[in-house]
Structure 1
């Protein structure tokens, strides 16, 4: 089972044969985010989800990370539809970037999911063609015949998708859990899972995010009493940070605020937008006279204020991060309570705790999942996954949505209930999985990398650029400038040496100037009559690089410039 995921140097996949269903994960297998898979049969494609991944500290300056669209870039006309399982950013955030390439690809999803997507697309000035679906509905998109199944998640209107083709069937759970007492009363439809299992599921694509967590995920209703207790003892301002699409958590905050005579203001553009949509569509019930504009909070006493904001993952430009940095109209201090009502996405730990420390330094009390029951996951734990495997009894299993450790843990759960290890497909992004005659296996690999969004540029930033940024941030920068005679190659001026972020004064480099001059003179002699400024630049780089490495124990970026006069 574990051999496939660690396979290196796989060949290009063979040409798709008749009677074969091909599945290509382009994101989400190896990361928590950037979820996207492509199904291919009879020359047509079905895209399932199209999300973003948020950058880590090792990716400075990056705003978002997209799936790699190169595999489908030249086949946009073959895409029958984009099917979205739910409205979280890691499943819908990259849709605008895909529709930039072809705006009329049909978007399919639940009512709330499409509303969130359409709001994003308006910002990109794209008017999509959409089809709203709900649980129990069946629709065909070319050779793909889809049935939609209700699943419970941390956002309303989430769907699993069952896909029938001439070459086999696929059941994709999307993100889900099995909360038996959800706030909206909409449970994961295990009866439908059982019915589809009886019908036949050739490939079960299963959410892996919580596969390492034993037992069952805590229900949403268990969070309400904790929030109520916090509201009851709070003497001053309350700030609650959550994902901007977590309708259920916002509902609990609104209910607690109404019960304790407080007003709620939404802070953060995405929070205001998404909760406005949810309230307008009836997914969020706003108690009378509870919501106020954030501009009015200064007119209210602190013991009547609740701020519902973004930034629970430590994003520096989100509302909570700016509050912690004293760069927001909202301020916190001693006596205020800040609640982080979210789980930590792997990779965000440092950023989150940086914000926590900043808030606590201002005197605020910070309550989070680690010290109080203020959040529960939206993903099925190991016990729930085991239930699903026993109910569906698929022919093949393909864990999706998670890091490598999550995918492996999910595969082991499937194996524990009797699935043949040879039928458990552990793949990573870019692996090509073919389903033929009821057997699924990895048959090759396509190029697949991160696509970085940096400001207005998409895909222009490379790993080399990020390496340069890391060096600049960690080690600093040294510039060298010299002028040489265009005829003789003799040094006319310089070398001038300037350092930034090296923690040393420029004067320290005066010691190395004679060595640079000597090396340049020797290089001119060695080059005879040929004047190569590039070679002279490399000479300066080597001399200074050796000096700062041996004497200063640093490896800064060195930019040498030699001009002729």
Structure 2
């Protein structure tokens, strides 16, 4: 945890019929979300993500939740439920499954597809259980019901966990976009029904909870993205999270509208967008997406590149472009669109990338000077 409490003593034995909730990450930090529920001698885990290092942690690739407290109880784990497919919720799963490979992993279709592609690189074949909103499944003494929530990645779920000790409602990450691109809204009727039944503990996402007002709809970004595609004199290079299917859909639609071809750059971007397209979450007009080799034959004003690196990650494609350490060379009058938010702690790295891109003559469009991102 980023805010340890060394003054706290070890937890007492769990009373018979009681429920214990242990957060192994995700509190007071943006990342490594992992919550353990203990009841009737069994453990249920919700999410298992990673946290990306800060500048003060050189040589560190990712930061994992601390598995120490559950390492001697791996056989008691009945399932790992994944609320959605972002790295800060699924990135730690390969490391947990290295310790016990047959733990059932529960999630929606897209979430499990992203996870399985990741686990393939680790040489792990998971035991998966696919669920969707409205499903209700028992895992040991935990009776779990899944509820649709809207987020910046499709197929996100909240989970209501019923036990003899009471009901916990865990929202996962969510927002209240009433006009999402996939028309799948947060199911407030289900939340109301659960509230009437009686929720004993409500665990809710709190990112940006201190910001007043309402989250802007994803659809309201279309004019700014369309303007970039229409007015950019040369290439457009878009950087986004490799899991932000909705944002990439907007980029594809705008590029297609203005006669631009699109190429995906970066292993995770190519992999995830291929999965999203195969499963029908990403609609790609015929002939729109081409290889980077094919782009070499096109004039600059017909080119759009979609890559990773929106958070200034040093090994990501955009950061390497900014330092001229990539085969794609940023040039004068290229337009770079940072289609993502600025995650707290990444400010210096992001501004360093923006400065590097500007140095080579690029025009950088980001949340600070255009309406190109909304909160997830």
The TM-score bracket by the shorter chain reads over 0.9
The correspondence for 1:143, drawn from 116, 141, 144, is 141
- Counterpart residue number, 1:34: 32
Look up the SS of the partner of 1:65 in the other structure. Answer: coil
- The CA deviation at 1:8 is 5.3
Q: Within 5 A, what are the aligned runs for 1:488-503? A: none
- Counterpart residue number, 1:281: 279
Q: Within 5 A, what are the aligned runs for 1:501-516? A: none
Greater relative contact order, per chain length (Cα 8 Å cut-off, separation 6+): 1
Look up the SS of the partner of 1:330 in the other structure. Answer: coil
- Counterpart residue number, 1:171: 169
- The CA deviation at 1:295 is 2.2
Deviating above 6 A after TM superposition, structure 1's stretches of 4 or more consecutive aligned residues are none
Q: RMSD value over aligned CA atoms?
A: 0.9
- The CA deviation at 1:333 is 1.5
- Counterpart residue number, 2:105: 107
Q: Within 5 A, what are the aligned runs for 1:461-480? A: none
The 3 A distance-change label for structure 1 pair 161 and 22 is: same
Larger Rg: 1
Q: Deviations over 1:30-86 (max 9, x none)?
A: 110000000000000000000000000000011000000011111111000000000
Q: Which has the higher helix share?
A: 1
Look up the SS of the partner of 1:264 in the other structure. Answer: strand
Look up the SS of the partner of 2:99 in the other structure. Answer: coil
* 2:96 maps to 1:98: yes
- Counterpart residue number, 1:470: none
Paired with 2:96 and 2:292, the residues of 1 have a C-alpha distance of 34
The correspondence for 1:263, drawn from 261, 271, 275, is 261
Q: Which runs of 5+ in 2 are unaligned?
A: none
Q: Which runs of 5+ in 1 are unaligned?
A: 379-565
Paired with 2:34 and 2:6, the residues of 1 have a C-alpha distance of 22
Look up the SS of the partner of 1:108 in the other structure. Answer: strand
- The CA deviation at 1:353 is 0.3
Q: Deviations over 1:227-281 (max 9, x none)?
A: 0011111110000000000000000000001100000000010000000000000
Q: Deviations over 1:501-520 (max 9, x none)?
A: xxxxxxxxxxxxxxxxxxxx
Q: TM-score, normalised by structure 2?
A: 0.98
- The CA deviation at 1:208 is 0.6
Paired with 1:69 and 1:322, the residues of 2 have a C-alpha distance of 33
- Counterpart residue number, 1:355: 353
Paired with 2:107 and 2:5, the residues of 1 have a C-alpha distance of 35
- Counterpart residue number, 1:295: 293
Look up the SS of the partner of 1:75 in the other structure. Answer: helix
The 3 A distance-change label for structure 1 pair 7 and 73 is: closer
* 2:332 maps to 1:334: yes
- The CA deviation at 1:331 is 1.4
Look up the SS of the partner of 1:98 in the other structure. Answer: helix
The correspondence for 1:25, drawn from 23, 26, 29, is 23
Q: Within 5 A, what are the aligned runs for 1:58-97? A: 58-97=56-95
- Counterpart residue number, 2:221: 223
- Counterpart residue number, 1:210: 208
Paired with 2:68 and 2:248, the residues of 1 have a C-alpha distance of 38
- The CA deviation at 1:296 is 1.9
Paired with 1:60 and 1:6, the residues of 2 have a C-alpha distance of 21
Q: Within 5 A, what are the aligned runs for 1:504-543? A: none
Q: TM-score, normalised by structure 1?
A: 0.66
Paired with 1:324 and 1:294, the residues of 2 have a C-alpha distance of 18
Look up the SS of the partner of 2:162 in the other structure. Answer: strand
Q: Within 5 A, what are the aligned runs for 1:268-417? A: 268-378=266-376
- The CA deviation at 1:19 is 2.1
